[in-house]
Amino acid sequence: MTQTRLLIGQTLSFESDPFQDGPEAATHTANGGVLIEDGLISKIGDAATLKSDHPDAALTDYGSKLILPGFIDAHVHYPQTAIIASWGKRLIDWLNTYTFPEEMRFHDPEFAGTIARTFFDLSLANGTTTVASYCTIHPESVDAFFGEAKSRGLRAFAGKTCMDRNAPDGLKDTVQSAYDDSKTLLDRWNGTERLGYAITPRFSPTSSREQLEALGTLWSEHPDCLMQTHLSEQTDEISWVKELFPEARDYLDTYEATGLLGEGGLYGHAIHLTDRERARLRETGGGLIHCPTSNMFIGSGLFDLGGLKSEGQTIGLATDTGGGSSFSMLRTMAAAYEVGQLRGRPAHPSELIWLATVGSAQALKVEDKIGRLATGFEADLVVLDLASTPAIAQREARATDIWEALFPTIMMGDDRAISAVHIKGEPIKTSL
């Protein structure tokens, strides 16, 4: 049993969806507090009341800093940590030139462990407390990820990336080994402490129809697992999928026809969707994962956040590191804002914070556990300094409400804005 903790500061959390209800969907308390018992939030409210009701709690006073639920990165490739910001290629060339050679190295458990440590150090330093990551085809890469997440007590999701074609020798599995290895890893890790397995066909170009079917069967046998893949990221990729699956109605159909469409399915990027694909995603409740820094870095296109959200899609936010150009969900929110501007529908700061917390939690099917400051939720928290650099501080000084105070940090902030991170209530070291 750990000690009762009381964190004091500004608090912000959502009671409903700001895309529907506007910024009033959030509750902001200028002098707020979060009471934590046994790693869970037991109360949130007014600082003075919580202090007088709980005089024995270990008190941390964050002053005017902002306590938020930890950020949730719903699509990331931890094996690409060391190749982030590799120059000049679009998706398929980028995979062949930079990604696949790097991923080959993950057969070595020691190398995989080193990169997993660096990855979690960087994510946590940026206030990200939960990720859903791809691994490589090597089971060792999955054990390295989950072993590291477990030792840090994190809620985390990942799976073995499956590919049986259009990848180099040494980076291919088979129909049978993809099924067998995924099943072994799923049995080992899914539900261990706060870890969850995501069945992971990389994307249709690198899986045969038979492999997609085998993984669809595995998902039907373990419907409590997530399933993650990529969908309609670049137009060249979509043309290639058409050639590889001539019988498919569209890209999504390659997943739909093989048992890989449904609730708990995470579809990364989802930029160039047809009306049929949008309708089927909405009907089945699959989660679309918006990766805006990646979409600009690899030159993929402009995600229709406003349109997709207003038609009722489930949407999470993600860095897509190393296709994405930052480990920071603040930089990712800024990119989502800019993509929105280019589409004529800028997201409000309440919508950006909601996507990085509740939205991603909904996509990952853990919206009853993380992503909000509310009684019974896991106390994975980030504390933001809203004046972390001189440029941000002088703008924040002019703010007249919480959104104006927060927006400069969203647009200009980075790991310097992360004052503290708590995992299951306990403060962790975030400096690298």
Q: Where on the chain is the footprint of Zn ion (CB under 5 A)?
A: 268, 320
Residues 6+ apart with CB under 8 A from 382: 67, 68, 69, 70, 71, 127, 129, 418, 420, 421
Beta strand extents in 135-238 (DSSP E only)? 156-159, 161-162, 195-201, 226-231
Out of Zn ion, ligand GUN, none, which partner does residue 130 contact, by CB within 5 to 8 A per kind?
none
Q: How far is the CB of 98 from Zn ion (least distance, A)?
A: 13
Neighbouring-strand partners of residue 268 = 230, 289
Secondary structure string (H, E, C) spanning 334-402: HHHHHHHHHCCCCCCHHHHHHHHHHHHHHHCCCCCCCCCCCCCCECCEEEECCCCCHHHHHHHCCCCCH
Is residue 75 within the footprint of ligand GUN (CB under 6 A)?
Answer: no
55: phi then psi, degrees, rounded to nearest 5:
-65, -20
Looking at the Cβ atoms of 99 and 211, the one nearer to Zn ion is: 99
Is residue 202 within the footprint of ligand GUN (CB under 6 A)?
Answer: yes
Residues 6+ apart with CB under 8 A from 421: 70, 124, 127, 129, 381, 382, 383, 427, 428, 430
Under DSSP, is residue 77 helix (H, G, I), strand (E, B) or coil? strand
Is residue 323 within the footprint of ligand GUN (CB under 6 A)?
Answer: yes
Nearest to 103 by CA among 132, 75, 76, 78: 78
Residue nearest to ligand GUN (CB): 323
Is residue 121 within the footprint of ligand GUN (CB under 6 A)?
Answer: no
Out of ligand GUN, Zn ion, none, which partner does residue 99 contact, by CB within 5 to 8 A per kind?
ligand GUN
* Interface residue with ligand GUN, options 77, 160, 194, 395 (CB under 6 A): 77
* Interface residue with ligand GUN, options 13, 129, 294, 362 (CB under 6 A): 294
Q: How far is the CB of 323 from ligand GUN (least distance, A)?
A: 3
Looking at the Cβ atoms of 62 and 98, the one nearer to ligand GUN is: 98
Q: How far is the CB of 128 from Zn ion (least distance, A)?
A: 16
Q: How far is the CB of 231 from Zn ion (least distance, A)?
A: 10
Under DSSP, is residue 181 helix (H, G, I), strand (E, B) or coil? helix
Element of type H or E holding 185: helix 175-189
- Rounded to whole angstroms, how far apart are CA atoms 318 and 233? 14
Q: How far is the CB of 318 from Zn ion (least distance, A)?
A: 8
By CB under 6 A, which span of 25-33, 91-99, 182-190, 339-347 interacts with ligand GUN? 91-99
Q: Measure Cα distances from 230 to 156, 180, 192, 247 in Å.
A: 19, 22, 26, 19
Out of Zn ion, ligand GUN, none, which partner does residue 233 contact, by CB within 5 to 8 A per kind?
ligand GUN
x/- map, 224-243, ligand GUN, by CB under 6 A: ------x--x----------
Give the pair of three-digit tokens for residue 313.
């899609």
Looking at the Cβ atoms of 155 and 202, the one nearer to ligand GUN is: 202
Looking at the Cβ atoms of 268 and 349, the one nearer to Zn ion is: 268
Nearest to 353 by CA among 374, 378, 334: 334
Is residue 203 within the footprint of ligand GUN (CB under 6 A)?
Answer: yes
Looking at the Cβ atoms of 200 and 388, the one nearer to Zn ion is: 200
Looking at the Cβ atoms of 47 and 91, the one nearer to ligand GUN is: 91
Residues numbered 295 to 314 that lie near ligand GUN (CB under 6 A) are: 298
Describe the chain by its helix, strand, coil percentages, rounded to 5.
Answer: 45, 25, 35
Looking at the Cβ atoms of 277 and 320, the one nearer to Zn ion is: 320
Out of ligand GUN, Zn ion, none, which partner does residue 155 contact, by CB within 5 to 8 A per kind?
none
Q: Is the bond leading into 376 cis (omega within 30 degrees of zero)?
A: no
- Rounded to whole angstroms, how far apart are CA atoms 72 and 331? 13
Is residue 159 within the footprint of ligand GUN (CB under 6 A)?
Answer: no
Is residue 277 within the footprint of ligand GUN (CB under 6 A)?
Answer: no
Out of Zn ion, ligand GUN, none, which partner does residue 202 contact, by CB within 5 to 8 A per kind?
ligand GUN
- Rounded to whole angstroms, how far apart are CA atoms 96 and 178? 21
Looking at the Cβ atoms of 301 and 346, the one nearer to Zn ion is: 301
Which residues contribute to the site for ligand GUN (CB under 6 A)? 77, 91, 95, 99, 202-203, 230, 233, 294, 298, 320, 323
